[in-house]
Every structure is written in structure tokens, then in C-alpha cells.
Structure 1
Amino acid sequence: MLKCFEKINWAKTGIFAAGVLFGTAGIKALSSDDAKKVYTGCTAAFLRAKDCVMKTAATVQENAGDIYAEAKQQNEERAAAAEAEAVEDVEEEAEADTTEE
């Protein structure tokens, strides 16, 4: 009967038993009321941070919309100015052709 105990690696068995003990104690510690208070506090902090980030993102989106609208208007004004300049050039060429004849 003692020969079967000789084949057991007591170091590995001891490490396994210690792991089970620490795991059980860890579960007890993680499910305690104090730990739940910490989890609640951390979750509340993350929710506050999320609200802050969302407000900042909304502000950035509003500013980006304003910038886009202004850029679009500026491009339209430039296109209108370029078109007016092209019309003037055509009129000047037509005038120059009539005076040469």
C-alpha cells in the first residue's frame, strides 16, 4: 500500500492544492460586499468618462459640420468667380476680334 504513495509527485500535488485553496479564497474575496462596492465605483467612473467623451465627440461633430459648410460655400464662391472671369475673357476676345476686322 505504501508503494502507491511513492509514485505520487508531492510537489505537484501540493502546488495543485495551494492553487485550489487560493482560487477558492479569491472567489470569496471577489464576491464580497467590499469588492462589489469597488466594482460599482469603477463602473460609475467609466460611465462618467463615457459621458464626457460623448459630449466632446458631439462638439467635434458640430464643428466639423460648420467647417464643411464654410468650405463648400468658399468653393462655390471661387467657382463663381472663375466662371465670371472666364466670361470676361471671352467677351474681351470677342471685342478684340471685332476691332481687328
Structure 2
Amino acid sequence: MWDIFKLKRLGIFAGGVLFGTAGVKLLSSKDAKNVYTKTTAAVLRGKECVMKTATSVQENAEDILEEAKEINEKRKVE
């Protein structure tokens, strides 16, 4: 005899399969691909901006390090 919990599990499974199938169709649609493309382009623009900032910070840090070494050399001489 069918138990109420078995029917509930079967219903949940069937709902999951249905939702998964609809999800695959939705994710592979032309509109979804357009969203993925635009999102990827935005991420690449963001990456470029971050890389420029990181390069600037690195260059400034190298300048500071060199100046600090010069200060220490001058102190040694004095």
C-alpha cells in the first residue's frame, strides 16, 4: 500500500525533475546567453581597472622602498 511519505517523495522528485528540465531550457536560451556575455564583458572591464590600480600601487611601493633604502644609507654614513 502506498504510504503518504512515499507519495510525497515521489512528488518532490517529479517536481525536481520538472524544475531541472525547465532550468536547463532557461539557462540555454538566447536571452540567457546575452546576459552571460554582457556579464562577462563587465567582469573583464572590472579586471582591467583592478589591474591598473594594482600596478600603480606596486610602482608606488617600489618607489617608497627605494627611498627608504636611500634614507637608511644616508643615516649609516652620518
TM-fit CA distance, 1:40: 0.7
Q: Aligned partner of 1:7: which letter?
A: W
Instruction: Measure the CA separation in 2 of the matches of 1:73 and 1:12.
Output: 74
Higher relative contact order (CA 8 A, sep 6+): 2
Unaligned segments of structure 2, at least 5 residues: none
Equivalent residue, structure 1, for 2:66:
69
TM-score, normalised on structure 2?
A: 0.91
Unaligned segments of structure 1, at least 5 residues: 1-5, 82-101
TM-score, normalised on structure 1?
A: 0.71
Q: Aligned partner of 1:57: which letter?
A: A
Larger radius of gyration: 1
Equivalent residue, structure 2, for 1:95:
none
Percent identity over paired residues: 62
Q: Aligned partner of 1:66: which letter?
A: D
Instruction: Measure the CA separation in 1 of the matches of 2:28 and 2:12.
Output: 24
Equivalent residue, structure 1, for 2:2:
7
Instruction: Measure the CA separation in 1 of the matches of 2:19 and 2:55.
Output: 47
Alignment partner of 1:37 is 2:34: yes
Instruction: Measure the CA separation in 1 of the matches of 2:47 and 2:30.
Output: 26
Counting matched residue pairs gives 76
Equivalent residues in 2 for 1:1-101, closer than 5 Å = 6-7=1-2, 9-81=6-78
Q: Aligned partner of 1:20: which letter?
A: V
